Structure 1
Amino acid sequence: MKRAEEIAAVLSERIATGRLRPGDRAPSTRTIMRDFGVAMATASRVLALLQDAGVVASTPGRGSVVLSPDESARAEPELTVDAVVAAALRIADSEGLEAASMRRVASEVGVATMALYRFVSGRDDLVLRMMDLACADLVIAESDPSHWRERLDWLTRQFWQCLRRHPWLASAMSMTRPQPLPNALPYSEAIIDALRTAGFSPADSLTMHLGLMNLVRGLAETVETELADQAATGITNDEWADTQTDSLLELMPSDRFPRMNELVQQDYPYDHDTIFEMGVRCFLDGVAWQVSQSSDAR
């Protein structure tokens, strides 16, 4: 069935780009069998998918023909790219990125899976659009704090809150091959501007920006993992930790690991926000020290 969907996607692209025009005969089952090397059942499934998507129709005496955009309009003409992406975002936010498959999103908006290809070119395109929509939460206003440290602190909290609202986003982001996200650009511009205002070079500003982002992103990835583990096991992180105490104490005898042994026996209230607060404060303290060193040198 996956092969049938892949072939249907190829033919849908040919229709969308005009290689198959309205009124043209769609490839027959025999043509699909020959061109793609598949069985009759798969070829028949391809045509069924195209018909479900509303891009071809079976006509007496001619077989399947390509429909015009007006003819292929489906029962929900109000469906838009924005509506598709918003539906995918809702699924990912509540169930994780893997749950937002093309099939699941299509079901959510009430169309055949192949119909989604009218709005996005594929799942990679869908995920990219989802990421950009999520980054719209990063609101940058002129009323933001003007002092560089206060501004960095405020902007970093914006990023953290965005990742908490969209737990899948942290793992979807790439620091080495950053995705083109228009809604994220004002945020990066504001971060770099704050660091440049503090006196850092363009290269050092970018390095600190990436370091701060990775600090927050790395912590946010543990949030996603914990939510997934909790959904799979039905127990919280603290409840799981309680079941591991005896095993950890066996691995950490007090004569060899006194500090770790002491920690394991304590009731440590693991909290993401507490770790975030300390991590960002220490990072910004280091940035402030760099600023003071530069000032002393001058």
Structure 2
Amino acid sequence: MGKLSAEAIVERALEIGDGEGLEAVTIRRLATDLGVTPMALYWHFKNKEQLLTGMADHLIAGFAVAPDDGRPWLDQLRELTQGLIRTLRRYPCAKTVLEQIDQTQVPSFLVVWDHTLGLARAAGFDVEESCLITKYILQSAIAIADAPVHLRTGRTPEQVKEVLRVKRLGLQSLPADRYPHLVEMAAPMVGDMDPALYDSFGMELILAGIEALARAKA
């Protein structure tokens, strides 16, 4: 094969992480899959920590933050959140990757983070409030993106369906007199709902709270 690139390494690492789980991503496994020696990978990533950072940077790099175009801050924040969710949704292992690295070391994440801080400041929040809002909304976007996909990691569609069926039956078998609402809503509780509703409602729930706080400060 031609000269091995860092991009080729992280793309294969993400494929393994999505299909088999992040624990399956090792330097030795990647070297075998890419047809090189482990030393060829160490040229780009000296350890797994650096590899994970590279994976995080790659999975977010596909998300282009729109420049401030004068629209209301809430519209821009909604667009940013929607775009980030769509980008992260492509990778079932995204949440696990982002949990295991120092996000301040990921250039593409810093771009998103900085832009979100600017939108919070434009909404009228002070420095500390802007930092908290940014952390909450980015972590919420990561969690929303992860929920419909995390069960797929390392499982076939049939296995996923069986896992959900068992979870649903477990809730439905609870004593209805003690847990009436869990029994009634067993299906949506385990994830059997319209994905579009899941995304939009979760995002609007967060944005509505931020908007209400901004109005109260005005």
Please give the TM-score of this superposition, normalised by the length of structure 1. 0.63
Structure 1, unaligned runs of 5 or more: 1-75
Equivalent residue of 2:131, what SS?
A: helix
Q: Answer yes or no: is 1:124 the counterpart of 2:46.
A: no
Structure 2 CA distance for aligned equivalents of residues 99 and 163 of structure 1: 20
Equivalent residue of 1:142, what SS?
A: coil
Distance change >3 Å, CA 175–CA 81, structure 1 → 2 = closer
> Conserved in 1, the CA contact under 8 Å of 2:116 and 2:134?
yes
> Conserved in 1, the CA contact under 8 Å of 2:172 and 2:184?
no
Provide the residue aligned with 2:127 in structure 1: 202
Over aligned residue pairs, what C-alpha RMSD do you find?
Answer: 2.9
Please give the TM-score of this superposition, normalised by the length of structure 2. 0.84
Distance change >3 Å, CA 245–CA 166, structure 1 → 2 = closer
Provide the residue aligned with 1:262 in structure 2: 184
Q: Answer yes or no: is 1:235 the counterpart of 2:156.
A: no
CA shift, 1:98, in A, is 2.8
CA shift, 1:245, in A, is 5.0
Structure 2 CA distance for aligned equivalents of residues 284 and 131 of structure 1: 25
Q: Which structure has the greater CA radius of gyration?
A: 1
Q: Which amino acid aligns with 1:166?
A: Y
Of 207, 211, 215, the match for 2:136: 211
> Conserved in 1, the CA contact under 8 Å of 2:171 and 2:182?
no
Distance change >3 Å, CA 131–CA 244, structure 1 → 2 = closer
Provide the residue aligned with 1:161 in structure 2: 86
Equivalent residue of 1:138, what SS?
A: coil
Of 2, 12, 25, the match for 1:100: 25
Distance change >3 Å, CA 79–CA 265, structure 1 → 2 = closer
Provide the residue aligned with 1:135 in structure 2: 60
Equivalent residue of 1:235, what SS?
A: helix
Distance change >3 Å, CA 247–CA 140, structure 1 → 2 = closer
Equivalent residues in 2 for 1:182-197, closer than 5 Å:
182-197=107-122
Structure 1 CA distance for aligned equivalents of residues 182 and 70 of structure 2: 41
Structure 1 CA distance for aligned equivalents of residues 171 and 112 of structure 2: 42
Provide the residue aligned with 1:110 in structure 2: 35
Percent identity over the alignment is: 25
CA shift, 1:243, in A, is 4.1
> Conserved in 2, the CA contact under 8 Å of 1:97 and 1:168?
yes
Structure 2 CA distance for aligned equivalents of residues 127 and 230 of structure 1: 22
Provide the residue aligned with 1:288 in structure 2: 211
Structure 2 CA distance for aligned equivalents of residues 265 and 99 of structure 1: 31
Aligned length: 217
Distance change >3 Å, CA 86–CA 288, structure 1 → 2 = same
CA shift, 1:77, in A, is 5.6
Structure 2, unaligned runs of 5 or more: none
Structure 1 CA distance for aligned equivalents of residues 130 and 152 of structure 2: 33
> Conserved in 1, the CA contact under 8 Å of 2:93 and 2:150?
no
Structure 2 CA distance for aligned equivalents of residues 155 and 273 of structure 1: 17
Equivalent residue of 1:236, what SS?
A: helix
Q: Of the two structures, which has the highest relative contact order with CA contacts closer than 8 Å and spacing of 6 or more?
A: 2
Provide the residue aligned with 1:279 in structure 2: 202
Q: Which amino acid aligns with 1:135?
A: I
Provide the residue aligned with 1:252 in structure 2: 175
Structure 1 CA distance for aligned equivalents of residues 121 and 36 of structure 2: 49
Deviations 1:84-107 (A, max 9, x none): 333323433444333332122112
Distance change >3 Å, CA 88–CA 246, structure 1 → 2 = closer
Distance change >3 Å, CA 144–CA 98, structure 1 → 2 = farther
